[in-house]
Structure formats: C-alpha cells, structure tokens
Structure 1
C-alpha cells in the first residue's frame, strides 16, 4: 500500500514538473517564471519520501524530458532536479536556511560548470565567447552609428570597453558563482510559500544582521593581496585564480559590511524602510560598495558590532 502511494505521488510530481518544464521551454515570459519552480516537485517529494526515492523521480524526469525535448534538455533537468533534492533533504532535516542556500549554490555551480565544459568539449559551443563576440559587434555598430552622425567616438570609452570585456573573460568563475547564488536564492524564496501551504516545516531565515563570516577569510584576503604584487601574466591560471578570489572575497566582505550596518540600524531603532533604501542606493554608486567591503573587513577583524552600544 505504501509503495502504491509513493508511486502515485511520484507520477503526480513528475506530471507537475513536465508541465513546468514545457512552459519554461515554449511559453515566452511565463517560461522564465516557470523555471524558478522546476525544483519544487523534487523538494516536495524528497521531504515526504527521502532522497533515495527522489533519485528515481529524477531518473524518470530525465527520461521523459529527453523524449519530449532533446538531449539538450538533460542538463537543465539534472540541475534543477539535483538542487531540488538537496534543498528538500536539508529542509527535512530542519537545517539553517543559510546553510541550505550555500548547499544549493554549490549544486547549481557544479551543474553550471559541468554543463559549460560539456558544451565546449563535445558540442563546440562556447557561450561565454559567443556572448563577448555579440557585445563586441554591438559596440562596434554603436561606434559606426556615431561616426555616421559626424561624432568622433571617445577613445577613452573604447579603451574602457575593451578593458571591461577582458575583465569579464577572466572573472567568469566569479560570474558563475554569483549566478548560482541568485538561482539558489530565488528557487528557495519562491518555493517556501508553497511548501508552507502544504504544511511542510521549512523554518525561517535567521536575521540578516546576525550573519558573521569566518575570520579565516581575512588571512585568505591578505594572501590574495600579497599575490597581486607579483607580476602575474594575464591569462595564466595563477592570474585567473588570484583575480577571481579577490572579487569573491570582496563580495563576501560586502555581505559582512551590510550585515554590520543592519545590526547597527536594529540597535539604533532605525526604520527598515530607510535601511532598505540606503542599501539600494549603494548599488547605484559603486564606490559605496567598496566602502561597505572595507567596513566588513574592519567588523570582521575588530568585532565592531560587539562595541555598538
């Protein structure tokens, strides 16, 4: 009787996944929203029946999606399926949501890296190179339009654009990590309300102001700063590793800095609306983000929030 119930629910969750999957493929605009819910059927099934049974559901989803789509559908199904199983298993164990977010980010990142390697090695499709080429063509067209209108394109603008493209090429791992984090966060955020409606225990987000990163990151940052003083040749593994570690650590220290500011705002009873508006303004003025990162470093090193009265 129990096996019949499990099989029945597996069929239901598989049907829900296929509907969402088809919508993500063929329905404009709505498809982008449907993509965020692709992990949900696997979360629900994992929380109710465990990850072992969910692996069978994943296998069935892969087979059906390949039959109705193509082999190119396999990476998408595997990515959202595995992430849904991991998130559901951790929810079932009542783990901290930030821990779940980190685990989901790692799963998304691994899938994205593997998919990129497969697309380059076996299908000779380099999405990053194609995107950069498209940006170059668009910029070149814009410069030609300016020349046609009798305006001389600023050389400084052209140099900055070239430098920006070169930087994007080198910080691709960082961009992958940020994209994986965004996918993981959005997947959890849109799924939690539905899981609650299904009477599933998903806990709550711990207050953002309580986030404190490990102090060891300061030593890593110091090592990275020391490495930047060495004449590393562009394009080498050492250069790419150093520059990506630098930007990833900067991102983490920004989170620490914002957490400190939210802590101060809470202690000083500053309205949440003001704090949110201030946070949004920081993203419009990049130099403020550097100050936030410095503040995060100071807070992490000297435990500033313990000194706030």
Structure 2
C-alpha cells in the first residue's frame, strides 16, 4: 500500500516538474520565474518519502527532460533535482534553515562547477570568457559612439573598466559561490510557503540578530592579509586562491556586521523598517559595506554584543 502511494506521489511530482520544465524551457519571460520552482517537486517528495526514493524520481525526471527537451538540458535538471533532494532531506530532519541554506548552496555550487568543467572540456565553450568578451565589445562600442559624437572618453574610465574585467576573471570562484547561494536562498524562499500550505516540515529561521561566525575565521583572515603583502604574481594559482578567499571572508564579515546591527536595533527598539531600509541602502553603497565588514570583525573579535546594555 505504501509503495503504491509513493508511486502515485512520484507520478504527480514528475508531472508537475515536467510542466515547470517545459515552461522554463520554451516560455521566455515566465520561464525565468518557473525555473526557480524546479526544485520544489523534489523537496516535497523527499520530505514525504526520503532521499532514496527521491533519487528514483530524479532519474525519471532526467529521462523525461531528455525526451521533451534535449540532452543539453540534463545538467540543469540534475542541478535543481539534487539541490531539491538535499534541501528536502534536511528539512525532513527538522534542521534549521541556515543549515539547509548552506547545504543547498553546496549542492548548487557542486553542480555549477561540474557543468562549467564539462562545458569547457567536452563542448569547448567557456561561458565566463564569452560573457567577458561580450562586455568588452559592448564597452568599446559605447566608446566609439562617444567619439563619433565628438566626445573623448576619459582614459581613467577605460583603465578602470579593464581592471574590472581582469578582477572578474580572477574572482570567478567567488561569483560561483554567490550564484549558488542566491539560487539556494531563492529556492527556499519560494518553497517555504508552499510547504507550509501542504503542512510539511519547513524548519525555522533562527533570529538573524543572533547569527555569529566562528572566531577561527579571524585567524584565517589575518593569514590571508599577511599573504597579500607578499609579491604574488598575477594569474598564478596562489594569487587566485588568496584573492578569492579574501573576498569571501570580506562577505562573511559583512554578514557578521549586519547581524550585529540587527542585534543593536533589537536591543534599542529601533523600528525594523529602518534597519531593513538601511541594509538595502548599504547594498548600493560599497564603501558602507566595507565599514560594516570592519564592524563585523570588531564584533567577532571583541564580542561587542556582550557590551550592549
């Protein structure tokens, strides 16, 4: 009886996934939205029946997607499917959503890296290089148009743009991590309301104001800062690793700093609207993020929260 119920449920979720997949594949604007929901059938099925049977659902989804779509769509199906299974398995164990978010990020990141390697090795297609090349061509086209209208673009503008492109090339691993995090976060945001309506386990978000990083990250950050003073040659493996670790740690300290500000806001009864508005403002002002990162480092190192009355 239980196997019959599981098969019926699998057929329903497979049908739902197929519809979402077809829309995301063939409907331009709506497809971009439905792509964010592709993991939901796997999350629901995993919570109800466990990850082992969910793997069979994933295999069936790969077969169906190869028939209604193409073989090129299989990596995407595999990515959203495995991420959905990981998220569903942890939600079923009542893990808090921060743990689920980290695990989902790792699942998306693993798939993104594998897909990138496959696209280079087997299809000789480097998406990052193509995107950078397109940006470079667009910039130079804009420069030519300005010159055609009698305006001479500042030389500093061209130098900064070239430096920006070079930086993007080096921090590609960090961009992959950010992309995976955003995919995992959005997947959870759109999934939770649906799971609640189905009365399934959704875990909890511990208060963000209580979030704190391990203190050991301060030592890693100090080590990275020391290494940055060494004469590292641009483009080498060590240079790329150090650069990406530096930016990743900076982002983590920004989160720590924001968490501290939310803690202060809660203790001082500052309206949440003001705090959220300030957070959004900081996202558009990079120098404020740098200050918040410093605040996060101080909070982590000197336990500022214990000094707030």
TM-score by length of 1: 0.99
Render the CA deviation track for 1:29-50: whole Å, top value 9, x for unaligned.
1111101110000011000000
Unaligned residue ranges in structure 1 (runs of 5+): none
Corresponding position of 2:79 = 79
Secondary structure of the equivalent of 2:37?
coil
Alpha-carbon distance in 2 for matches of 1:73, 1:9:
24
Secondary structure of the equivalent of 2:50?
helix
Corresponding position of 1:307 = 307
After TM superposition, give the deviation of residue 203 of structure 1 in Å. Answer: 2.5
Unaligned residue ranges in structure 2 (runs of 5+): none
CA RMSD between the two structures: 0.6
Moved over 4 A (4+): none
Secondary structure of the equivalent of 1:212?
coil
Is 1:58 the counterpart of 2:58? The answer is yes
Alpha-carbon distance in 2 for matches of 1:70, 1:200:
33
Alpha-carbon distance in 2 for matches of 1:58, 1:143:
49
Alpha-carbon distance in 2 for matches of 1:284, 1:59:
42
Q: Which runs of structure 2 are paired with 1:12-23 in the superposition (5 Å)?
A: 12-23=12-23
Corresponding position of 1:122 = 122
After TM superposition, give the deviation of residue 284 of structure 1 in Å. Answer: 2.0
After TM superposition, give the deviation of residue 163 of structure 1 in Å. Answer: 0.1
| Stretch moving more, 177-186 or 276-285 | 276-285
Q: Which runs of structure 2 are paired with 1:85-100 in the superposition (5 Å)?
A: 85-100=85-100
Alpha-carbon distance in 1 for matches of 2:77, 2:69:
11
Alpha-carbon distance in 2 for matches of 1:180, 1:74:
18
Is 1:29 the counterpart of 2:18? The answer is no
Alpha-carbon distance in 2 for matches of 1:283, 1:96:
26
Corresponding position of 1:212 = 212
Q: Which runs of structure 2 are paired with 1:84-233 in the superposition (5 Å)?
A: 84-233=84-233
| Stretch moving more, 288-297 or 274-283 | 274-283
Alpha-carbon distance in 2 for matches of 1:274, 1:164:
33
After TM superposition, give the deviation of residue 233 of structure 1 in Å. Answer: 0.6
Alpha-carbon distance in 2 for matches of 1:185, 1:29:
21
